[in-house]
Chain A
Amino acid sequence: MTLSAQVLTKRYGDAPGYAAVRGVSLELNRGEFISIVGRSGSGKSTLMAMLGALTKPTEGKLLLDGTDVWTLPESERATFRSRHVGFIFQFPSLLSNLTAVDNVAVPALLGRTMEAEEAYARAHDLIARVGLADRADAYPGTMSGGEQRRVAVARALINAPPLLLADEPTSDLDEDTETDIIDLLERLQRTESFGFVLVTHDLKLAKRARRSYEMRQGTLAATDLPQVVAEPQRRVTPTGIRPEQPAPAAARAPIRLGANLWGGVKTFLIAAAVIFAAVLAADVGVEKYQAMRVRERAARVAALQHLALNRLRGDVQSVADLGDGRYELTTYLESVGGEEPIYVMAPDMRAYVQVGTVWQEVPLTPADDGATGVAKIERKQTYRYRFDARVRDFAQLLPNYMHVRFSGTMLVSPSSRPNGDVFERKDNYYVYLKPFDVADEVVLRRMRFSGKPPVWIPMPPH
């Protein structure tokens, strides 16, 4: 594999005159170790991003074995990043909600370069090789900066890329840890034989590469740094790194992808089921109780209805002619078929005379005090009213007689101080009434009575 950068130039949109990288050409082969040094802002990171196809060069080409990477569709560029390049960034770049081994396995799972089992086996292997076998299940938040960086190294290598780009991978680490990481990278580079580009501002580190370049204001120049070859072994066992640790047996345990997720879902479902069952049980209980209350209430209403409708009889007792169109009405209420007392709030009585097809109300007033207030009905209670019935053009169902309706509304209760148990009963009494200004002879001309025509004739309820 050869990755060839040809006259790469990168200008950023907001400053078109200024180029972060200017006409850089570089060839990278498998197994090579190249270092690039330069001061901050010299364009090193931009060059690395272009080499990894993370940003499009403004000018120039990036050729992978002769194919221009930027002429490919984005999906194939993603495949290029997945299979050909490993990237180590200058900042902690682990996904904080995944464990170390999950982080390492992510690129393999995303790129579908291998089966999940294989990916995890390799991830455990790599974790062991960077000396973190016992931290495989730790979360990034609980790891030191050096440990996180080593996980990032393992992650960059999961897909066995032919090229590893490390952009100041140790920038925020102390000197010893920095050396540890670079030692590790160099050792891995030798065993895995990937092409390795190390960007650093540390000349000492840069010297360890076979080829060294210096980046200055966007341009790349070869340097003749004397190479340091034999230095890496100055510390026999670097602290913290236990190279080639065998992976623990647990690492070979079957992989359970998304185990945490399913665990969470299970907990959630169990909690939801418990709450649901509790609510359901409470609901059933409340429903039973309420149904009982509704039945009780219905029974009470039925009893009240029986009391008000069947045990209380009411009708017109008499109508007397007071002359000049004035009449006196006497109605009665009577308790029948039981001993319990019945209390009635005085009827609100109204009188109507039929005119044509409509009922015309005529003035009616109570004639005595008994017609107001609450009365206990033990035997028979009478109510007297006076009303005027001087109506013209009344309907004559019987010749020369008015058709009169008395409507009474009363509240009935079994107790004198009703507490919700009140029934509203409506009564209609119908009578024929002889008008005051029609002489008996006139009536008798069309109707036959045994004596004088009566003042009123009761009608059956209708």
Chain B
Amino acid sequence: MLTSSRQALSTLLIGMAAFTAFQLIALLILVSLLFSAIVQERYREVGLLRAMGAQPNQVMTIILAEAAVITALGGLAGLGFGAAVLLTFARSLGFYFALLGVPFSWPPAAVLQIGAVLAIVFSAVLGLVGAFLPAWRVRRIAPYALIQTEGR
């Protein structure tokens, strides 16, 4: 019985990992689309910066940094939300199980900490990767063409 539960749980874990991976890919596409739109909306601003003498790399750095900060903050928020869900779980279903004599045990602190750091790093990387293409594209457009687009 224990073995079959363990098997079921490990299957569930694999399924969830696959689901998460698909979600990450979907998010990557979403971030990329989002930043395409954001960068396109700011063509005039980018063009102005270039006209003022900004290096193409500076513009790219600004866009990538913004993306990384935004997605990292998103990751942070997600972490907070996840922790809240986990706490709620521990204090509701976990409590119910504890009453039945099955103790609810948290994963080791090290695992949680590494997971948290990984999540934030991952979300920042997601922003970087997602925004790279839009940032690279805008780098190649002449400043005057950027300024001439109807920015807003």
A interface vs B, CB < 8 Å?
46, 49, 52, 54-56, 74-75, 78-83, 87, 89, 93, 95, 106-107, 110-111, 155, 159, 272, 279, 283, 286-287, 290, 293-294, 297-298, 301
Contact = CB atoms under 8 A, between A and B. Distances in A.
3 residue pairs, one from A and one from B, having the closest CB atoms? A82-B53, A55-B144, A54-B144
Interface stretch (B1-9, B95-103, B122-130): B95-103
A95 B95 contact: no
Contact of B98 (A79, A159, A290): A290
B66 interface: no
A81 B50 contact: yes
A110 B51 CA distance: 11
B44 to A, nearest CB: 8
> Interface centre among B53, B54, B57, B84, by most A CB within 10 Å?
B53
Contacts of B99: 293-294, 297
B91 A82 contact: no
A111 B53 contact: yes
Q: With a 10 A CB-CB cut-off, give which of B50, B84, B101 has the most chain A CB atoms.
A: B50
Size class of the B contact interface (CB-based, 8 Å)? 20 to 34
Interface of B: 45, 47-58, 80, 84, 87, 91, 95, 98-99, 101, 142-145, 147
B52 to A, nearest CB: 4
Contacts of A89: 48, 51, 147
Nearest to A56: B142
Contact of A283 (B50, B57, B87, B98): B87
Contacts of A46: 144
Given A279-B87, A290-B95, A81 B145 contact: no
Contacts of A297: 99
Contact of A81 (B53, B84, B147): B53
Contact of A95 (B45, B50, B84): B45
B104 to A, nearest CB: 10
Contacts of A279: 84, 87
B98 A294 contact: yes
Nearest to A46: B144
Nearest to B77: A272
Given A283-B87, A286-B91, A290-B98, A110 B143 contact: no
A17 B53 CA distance: 32
Contacts of B52: 81-82, 87, 106-107, 110-111, 155
Contact of B101 (A80, A83, A298): A298
A255 B75 CA distance: 32
B147 A110 contact: no
Given A75-B57, A95-B48, A297-B99, A55 B91 contact: no
Contacts of B145: 55
B51 A81 contact: yes
Contacts of B50: 54, 78, 81
B48 A110 contact: no
Contacts of B84: 279
B56 A54 contact: no
B114 to A, nearest CB: 20
B142 A55 contact: yes
Contacts of B48: 89, 93, 95
B92 to A, nearest CB: 10
A202 to B, nearest CB: 22
Given A54-B144, A78-B53, A81-B50, 16 more contacts: A49-B147, A54-B143, A54-B147, A74-B56, A75-B55, A78-B50, A78-B56, A82-B52, A82-B53, A95-B48, A107-B52, A111-B53, A111-B54, A283-B87, A286-B91, A294-B98
A272 B77 CA distance: 10
Contacts of B142: 54-56
Contact of B143 (A55, A83, A107): A55
